[in-house]
Structure 1
Amino acid sequence: MERKINKFLLKWKTDLIRKPLLIIGTRQVGKTYTALDFGKQNYQYVAYFNTDHNTILKDLFKKERSITRLAEALSIISEVPIVKNDTLLIFDNVTDEDIIKGIKLFGYDKNDYHVIAITSSRDSLLKFRGEEFQYKIMTEMDYEEFLWAIGEKEVAEKIRYAYDNHRSCSVHTKALDYFYDYLITGGLPEVVEAFATNKHYGYLDSIKERVFDINKSELLNSKNLIDIERGIEVMESIPKQLEKDNKKFQYGVLGYGRRAKEFENSINFLVTNQLVYRSYKIRVAKSPLSSCRELDSFKLYLPDDGLLSMRYNLTKDRLRVDENVKQALYENHIAHTLVESGYSLYYYQSEGKAEVNFVIQNRMGKIIPIELATKQGSKVKSLSVFMKKYIVTDAYRITESNFSTKKNVRYLPIYAIFCLNEQLY
């Protein structure tokens, strides 16, 4: 399946200052498949190494510091010729420090060896730090990639055309219907592929349940055993948290008498490892937004819409009529799309209870509010108050209606959030 990261990989391959590349992302987002497919399409040889509990590689990298001898040994181990510029070396499931130090050696070479390391552990970033590496975060498939996968590339192109040219989308109804499929399916490649071939939701849920369990198992890497149980509680509570009118994370949902101090480490671990995404409350909006955040007031989101819809036992028919669940899924979708585009999340709530669902700061320092509304007749008072108070000239309002613009507010259909990935600069 076509992935957007492929463009980045092609650029990396021809980069004059190319370094070994670390691809980091949660499990099951397609890191290994993408790297192997990229190697198959663009190199004469691909040498793949699963480093998980690989004592042979660990001993090799621990003892050998010569690039030439390392290449010779790796060729013998993989039974693949290690040819400069013609072989892609892929090291998967990398967490061991000795192996990381060994991979770093290729960063000192003159760009002759092409090396990709893959990990799902954010903690590994600390071990990889240095000028010897380049980094790329990989996430699940967005709605545009989903459309590509199910053979609807033309729909994706028409959505982008409408966004870029400030026009209404000629396939609006069709795009919204497919978006409902995406909310239920999610963006995990294995689930998307299964949907594209047989479209049986029961089978898809079995895959998503397994992936959700895999994500929960990442908590086993937590240093404190009690944090494992609490982390699972937090993840399991997110559907209930988002279904509330007030979507702020409330410890009371976890059980009577639960306190923030009990869950602080677990939540930080989940956020650090991208198992959940966090949005902080702000009462004022000034640059930088990070200086305005309230650390004890936040919302949590899941990184995949399909994992969330599974917890609701959702069907397309129910999605169309259940406004609480729809609001939860829409807000979750906007949140993970923005985070995966590189933005920190904030939501605005004034003393007068006016709330804007998302406030971000783009790479030029501009503060941009994004408001979500699921009903066409919903008022825009909160967004208007925010724009007037902070002299904001650009804002987005997300609805189920077609593209339009009113008084400096761009109205985007919910399915077009992926267009913001490359536009909010």
Structure 2
Amino acid sequence: MRKGARAAEYENAIQWLSDAGLVYKVCRLSKVAMPLSFYFEKDAFKLFLLDVGLLGAMAQVPPALMLIGDNVFSEFKGAFTENYVLTQMLASRNVVAGYYSKENSSMELDFVLQVGTEILPVEVKAEENVKSKSLRLFITVDNAGSDMHGYRFSMKGYKEQDWMTNIPLFAVSPFISRKAEYGKINKV
């Protein structure tokens, strides 16, 4: 896509790719509430490829580069990790996904999921150096007093905090599948 392109110019192509199951279209949410699909802003969305291996091949990224711990490819690692997490979350088939960004703010939640009757705000981090400023603000300020709990998927191990739980990247699929099957659970 060319820089500054409008979605309308590519609407048919995007719809075809989505219908073929080659890309996932994740819409921005105007509000975080149930049902999420009611609050989709159809004109604001992100596209994710169905497979991270294909994403890496299309970007011509040598696999060894993904394992390097420095900042050589940090921006791509973030996008790659978000793509991986989304494909793992959607594998359970009982998940509705969107993303949320506050107007006139840099605050953005990577994903907001509807899993059964629960809404899960999600932040994705590609490294062990994790700060979830947007997630913290959303949970502790915007939704203070509610029972909403945030989830961060990262390279760090499992860790529970009062407002957020960190889930290791390797456990995304089992965690979401368990949530989809059993609903709200206190401990993972």
* TM-score, normalization by structure 2: 0.82
User: d(CA) in 2 for partners of 1:408 and 1:373?
Assistant: 17
**Aligned letter for 2:165?**
R
Could you say which residue in structure 2 is the equivalent of 1:415?
A: 170
Cα distance change, pair 291–404 in 1 and its aligned pair in 2 (3 A) = same
Rg comparison, structure with higher value: 1
Q: Is the 8 A contact 2:130 2:154 kept in 1?
A: no
Aligned-residue sequence identity (percent) comes to 28
User: d(CA) in 2 for partners of 1:260 and 1:358?
Assistant: 20
User: d(CA) in 2 for partners of 1:347 and 1:317?
Assistant: 30
Q: Is 1:329 matched with 2:80?
A: yes
Residues 11-410 of structure 1: pairs in structure 2 closer than 5 A:
254-255=1-2, 258-321=5-68, 322-342=73-93, 343-351=95-103, 352-363=105-116, 365-388=117-140, 389-390=142-143, 391-410=146-165
Structure 1: unaligned runs, 5 residues or longer: 1-253
The structure whose residues are more often helix, as a share, is 1
The alignment partner of 1:422 has SS state of: helix
Q: Is the 8 A contact 2:110 2:122 kept in 1?
A: yes
Question: Deviations 1:80-117 (Å, cap 9, x if unpaired)?
Answer: xxxxxxxxxxxxxxxxxxxxxxxxxxxxxxxxxxxxxx
Q: Is the 8 A contact 1:278 1:298 kept in 2?
A: yes
Q: Is the 8 A contact 1:359 1:367 kept in 2?
A: yes
Question: Deviations 1:31-66 (Å, cap 9, x if unpaired)?
Answer: xxxxxxxxxxxxxxxxxxxxxxxxxxxxxxxxxxxx
> Displacement, 1:258?
4.1
The alignment partner of 2:110 has SS state of: strand
Instruction: Give the number of equivalent residue pairs.
Output: 171
**Aligned letter for 2:171?**
A
> Displacement, 1:367?
0.8
> Displacement, 1:344?
2.1
User: d(CA) in 2 for partners of 1:329 and 1:256?
Assistant: 20
The alignment partner of 1:419 has SS state of: helix
> Displacement, 1:287?
1.2
Cα distance change, pair 407–421 in 1 and its aligned pair in 2 (3 A) = closer
Could you say which residue in structure 2 is the equivalent of 1:192?
A: none
The alignment partner of 1:263 has SS state of: helix
Could you say which residue in structure 1 is the equivalent of 2:186?
A: none
**Aligned letter for 2:150?**
A
Q: Is the 8 A contact 1:387 1:393 kept in 2?
A: yes
Q: Is the 8 A contact 1:277 1:300 kept in 2?
A: yes
User: d(CA) in 2 for partners of 1:256 and 1:377?
Assistant: 31
> Displacement, 1:392?
4.4
> Displacement, 1:257?
6.8
RMSD: 1.9
User: d(CA) in 2 for partners of 1:257 and 1:338?
Assistant: 30
Cα distance change, pair 275–382 in 1 and its aligned pair in 2 (3 A) = same
Q: Is the 8 A contact 1:368 1:392 kept in 2?
A: no
Q: Is the 8 A contact 1:320 1:326 kept in 2?
A: no
Cα distance change, pair 384–259 in 1 and its aligned pair in 2 (3 A) = closer
**Aligned letter for 2:98?**
Y
**Aligned letter for 1:301?**
F
Cα distance change, pair 259–354 in 1 and its aligned pair in 2 (3 A) = closer
> Displacement, 1:405?
1.2
User: d(CA) in 2 for partners of 1:334 and 1:386?
Assistant: 20
User: d(CA) in 2 for partners of 1:396 and 1:412?
Assistant: 7
User: d(CA) in 2 for partners of 1:282 and 1:341?
Assistant: 21
Q: Is the 8 A contact 2:36 2:114 kept in 1?
A: yes
The alignment partner of 1:325 has SS state of: helix
Structure 2: unaligned runs, 5 residues or longer: 184-188
User: d(CA) in 2 for partners of 1:421 and 1:410?
Assistant: 13
